[in-house]
């Protein structure tokens, strides 16, 4: 088994409790940052580590923090994106329910580095049990002095709030998340300004994904070189790959960035179930363009996936077998984006619902001449013409599915 | 008309408000708190929330109608929400929905005449590793097949 940085103690009972976390060396990294390092030194280390965001976009966390204005009269906020809604993705649930203190420790280091004293964890509404576990962890950390007015006995102050969403995929988009946190509909904002300058309550705001933050304690404790020495040099560390679909062992696998997709499916996840044959793989959550069976010898890192015409996204791997109809996959896809489009931008609002309508017709065997071309035209009209990435997230996987499996759609 | 809001809920709302730097930011948690009591949000409750948070009633209505977890009609005692997205479908999620429809004698989106069960189809719940899955109210049930579903319904009856 490759070395695990985030999940190494996950088999332990009671890791979610602070006693166990402390006994395993927890909060040592936060103490090191607060007592032995200056905020610029933490930022320097983070930039060196080049930790790429684990939520979907892959943007380096240190660079993102660097955009926060150094001098400002405004408060600054940290928002943790725990609105895990990308279909096929369950890694953040896994991390938060097993080890909520790891997330809190990453949040402490981030907040100290950027000068933040108030942080929110935006958890998707359905994860009520996870939210309760986080609340408990916040209470434990506060009682032990790792949160509150004197973090780890220093003058640094940090309050953490757990905030539940209420069922809207779009709130995983960072500006929609901010709107939602302000008590509004989750409508993405026009950018720029970016959240680093105008974020929550119009204040400079850092937004990072759960898994991204969970990597920070390792980087600070062991140094950026230890991190970049694992995985790939420019895309270091590990990723938590969530595998679902007809494999023998679906689940989360923490593996070095750059592990080949085929190895994850056939070695880690135990290969295909019941002698089924592999047909296609969605490598980074539903929005990642599909790969054919002959395209899965690809290393799982942001750049390799992008070169293969797809994206690493959330690292959620959905495996599809030969017996599965790609038309039915398209039905699921089209329905999802039509349901989750927030309705703000016309190409996405109208485009996703028309695509959904046409795909349903195809699935009923009532397809008309030119239907597939119409779907393509609608998808191309969404792509690049919306305020937020949901437009592309809907268009690109649909276009890829048409390009690679067109014959299955037209019968 | 002033809605019946229990002292317990009023206390919970005050507690939520005390934790937020701005009152309007507490809207989602306050709505969750009210809905937990009766299973849905009435126009009177929306009005009460608007007054308590100092925002326009239409702002509350906008939010209630945007997020799928907020309901404006009562649901059954047990709200079965079956995941219909790709990973669950690959593991037989749709046949679970068909089975539930026939066992409960209702269509998706309906509530049984005795008010016990509401059946809904929802998007990915993040339970893909143990697909297919569903939520009963806010509790997850995973790795389901017909036998497991029968046992689950038996426990709920």
Domain ranges within chain B, ordered by starting residue: 7-66, 78-156
pLDDT surpassing 70 at residue B1: no
Instruction: Give the gap in angstroms from C-alpha B69 to the nearest C-alpha of chain A.
Output: 5
Q: What percentage of chain B exceeds 90 in pLDDT?
A: 90
Contact A108, A151 (CB under 8 A): yes
Q: What percentage of chain A exceeds 70 in pLDDT?
A: 100
Does residue B14 belong to the interface with chain A, where contact is any CB pair within 8 Å? Answer: no
* Long-range contacts of A127-131, Cβ-Cβ distance < 8 Å, separation of 24 or more: A127/A82, A127/A84, A127/A93, A127/A96, A127/A164, A127/B126, A128/A164, A128/B138, A129/A97, A129/B138, A129/B139, A129/B140, A130/A82, A130/A93, A130/A96, A130/A97, A131/A162, A131/A164
pLDDT of residue B2: 60
pLDDT in tens, B28-56: 999 999 999 889 999 999 999 999 999 99
Would the ipTM clear 0.90, i.e. be above it? yes
pLDDT of residue A404: 98
**Was domain A18-228 assigned CATH 3.40.1390.20?**
no
Does residue B40 belong to the interface with chain A, where contact is any CB pair within 8 Å? Answer: no
pLDDT surpassing 80 at residue B3: no
CA A123 to chain centre: 12
Contact A281, A269 (CB under 8 A): no
pLDDT in tens, A91-108: 999 999 999 999 999 999
Closest CA to B121 of B79, B87, B76: B79
**Was domain B7-66 assigned CATH 1.10.287?**
no
Confidence bin at A13 (pLDDT 50/70/90): confident
> Domain B78-156: which topology?
Glutaredoxin (3.40.30)
Please answer yes or no on whether B63 and A87 come within 8 Å at the CB atom.
no
Across the range A359-388, mean pLDDT stands at: 96
What average pLDDT does the structure give for chain A? 96
pTM: 0.96
Q: Which top CATH class is A240-321?
A: alpha beta
pLDDT surpassing 80 at residue A297: yes
Instruction: Give the gap in angstroms from C-alpha A336 to the nearest C-alpha of chain B.
Output: 7
Across the range A40-57, mean pLDDT stands at: 95
| Angle of the A390-409 helix axis to the A371-382 helix axis, nearest 10 | 160
Across the range B80-95, mean pLDDT stands at: 94
Please answer yes or no on whether A286 and B124 come within 8 Å at the CB atom.
yes
pLDDT surpassing 80 at residue B150: yes
Domain with CATH 3.10.20.600 in chain A: 240-321
pLDDT in tens, A172-195: 999 999 999 999 999 999 999 999
Q: Which of A90, A126, A328 shows the shortest C-beta gap to B135?
A: A126
> Domain A326-405: which topology?
de novo design (two linked rop proteins) (1.20.1440)
Q: What are phi and psi of A96, to 5 degrees?
A: -70, -35
Report the C-alpha gap between B95 and A89 in whole angstroms: 22
pLDDT of residue A233: 86
pLDDT of residue A349: 97
């Amino acid at each position: 088994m490759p070395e695990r940085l985030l999940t190494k103690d996950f088999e332990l009972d009671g890791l979610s409790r602070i006693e166990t976390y402390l006994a395993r060396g927890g909060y040592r990294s936060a103490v090191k940052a607060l007592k032995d390092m200056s905020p610029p030194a933490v930022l320097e280390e983070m930039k060196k580590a080049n930790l790429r965001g684990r939520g979907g976009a892959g943007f380096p966390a240190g660079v993102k923090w660097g955009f926060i204005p150094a001098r400002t009269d405004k408060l600054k906020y940290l928002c943790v994106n725990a609105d895990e809604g990308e279909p096929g993705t369950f890694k953040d649930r896994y991390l938060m329910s097993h080890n909520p203190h790891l997330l809190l420790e990453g949040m402490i280091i981030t907040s100290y580095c950027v000068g933040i004293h108030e942080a929110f964890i935006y958890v998707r509404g359905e994860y009520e049990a996870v939210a309760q576990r986080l609340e408990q962890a916040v209470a434990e950390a506060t009682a032990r002095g790792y949160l509150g007015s004197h973090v780890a006995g220093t003058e640094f102050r940090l309050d953490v709030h757990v905030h539940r969403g209420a069922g809207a995929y779009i709130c995983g988009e960072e500006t929609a998340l901010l709107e939602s946190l302000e008590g509004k509909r989750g409508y993405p904002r026009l950018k720029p300004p970016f959240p680093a300058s105008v974020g929550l309550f119009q204040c400079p705001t850092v937004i990072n994904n759960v898994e991204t933050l969970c990597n920070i304690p390792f980087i600070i404790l062991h140094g950026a070189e230890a991190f970049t020495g694992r995985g790939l040099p420019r895309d270091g560390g590990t990723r938590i790959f969530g595998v679902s679909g007809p494999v023998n062992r679906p689940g989360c696998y923490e593996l070095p960035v750059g592990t080949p997709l085929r190895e994850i499916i056939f070695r880690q996840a135990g290969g295909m179930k019941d002698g089924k044959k592999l047909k296609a793989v969605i490598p980074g959550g539903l929005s990642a363009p599909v790969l054919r069976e002959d395209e899965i010898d690809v290393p799982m890192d942001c750049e390799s996936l992008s070169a293969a015409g797809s994206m690493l996204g959330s690292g959620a791997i959905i495996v599809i077998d030969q017996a599965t109809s790609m038309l039915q996959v398209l039905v699921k896809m089209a329905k999802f984006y039509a349901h989750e489009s927030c309705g703000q931008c016309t190409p996405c609002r109208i485009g996703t619902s028309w695509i959904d309508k046409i795909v349903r017709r195809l699935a009923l065997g009532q397809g008309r001449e030119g239907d597939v071309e119409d779907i393509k035209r609608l998808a191309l009209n969404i792509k690049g013409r919306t305020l937020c990435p949901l437009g592309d997230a809907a268009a690109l996987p649909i276009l890829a599915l048409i390009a690679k499996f067109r014959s299955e759609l037209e019968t | 008309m002033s809605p019946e809001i229990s002292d317990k809920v009023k206390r919970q709302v005050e507690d939520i408000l005390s934790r937020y730097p701005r009152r309007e930011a507490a809207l989602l948690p306050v709505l969750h708190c009210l809905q937990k009591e009766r299973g849905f949000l009435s126009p009177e409750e929306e009005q009460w929330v608007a007054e308590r948070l100092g925002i326009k009633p239409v702002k509350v209505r906008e939010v209630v109608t945007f997020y799928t977890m907020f309901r404006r009609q009562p649901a059954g005692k047990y709200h079965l929400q079956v995941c219909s997205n790709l990973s669950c479908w690959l593991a037989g999620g749709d046949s679970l929905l068909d089975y539930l429809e026939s066992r409960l004698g209702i269509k998706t989106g309906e509530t049984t005449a005795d008010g016990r069960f509401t059946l809904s189809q929802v998007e990915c719940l993040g339970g893909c590793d143990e697909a297919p899955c569903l939520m009963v109210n806010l509790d997850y049930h995973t790795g389901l097949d017909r036998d497991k579903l029968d046992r689950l319904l038996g426990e709920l009856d």
